[in-house]
Amino acid sequence: MEGSRHERLRATLRSRRGLFALALSFLLFACGAPQPVAVASHSPSTAPTAAQFSPTPSAQPVLKVAGSRYGDIIVDGSGRALYLFDIEREPVARCYDACASSWPPMLAATSTSVADELDQSLFATTVRRDGSRQVTYNRHPLYYYVGDRAPGEIKCQAVFEYGGGWYVVDPRGTRITRT
């Protein structure tokens, strides 16, 4: 009797360890986390630097629509995917500090344009704490994911980070929940 109970306990622990390892693997790799950047380098690197992901207003942040594996989504003028943070139910940014390092806001310059397939009346901006203006669409502040390094990349869809869910945005300005 004692041996049978001991074997069941060992099997349960093995099962839980397997589930923990699976969950940990998912968390580490779900978003295609960017590779660490070397501290010192003696040759030029083609890898993107943190400065390349810094939020800076572009002269004309055009919003347009592009096809993706999730359907039609909103992208910037260069084709980079844009995301919404589902805890932001008003057009007020709540992603700052470490959050904004992983999810840089799409900042606006004074002149902007929206592609014809999008509703111009849903486009606006909101003022961030530092005074910069962040692009919003259908009352959702828009963000990039730092791990998306090229047009068309979507590496962090429908994940939970920094207290909320992150989703690509459809042309109506609503989140796409498919994974």
pLDDT 10s digits, 46-92: 333 344 454 555 555 589 999 999 999 999 999 999 999 999 989 99
- Structure-block tokens of residue 135: 């692009």
How far CA 34 is from CA of 49, 94, 146, in Å, comes to 11, 23, 8
CA 27 to chain centre: 14
User: pLDDT averaged over the chain?
Assistant: 78
Share above pLDDT 90 across residues of the chain, in percent, rounded to a whole number:
59
What average pLDDT does the segment 12-16 reach?
51
Can you give the pLDDT at residue 58? Answer: 55
Write down how long the chain is. 179
Q: What is the pLDDT of residue 39?
A: 27
In degrees, to the nearest 5, what angle opens at C-alpha 150 toward C-alphas 132 and 173? 55
pLDDT in tens, 148-163: 999 999 999 999 999 9
Greater confidence (25 vs 1) lies with 1
Report the C-alpha gap between 139 and 92 in whole angstroms.
8
The one-letter amino acid code at 3 reads G
Check: CB of residue 133 under 8 Å from CB of residue 57.
yes
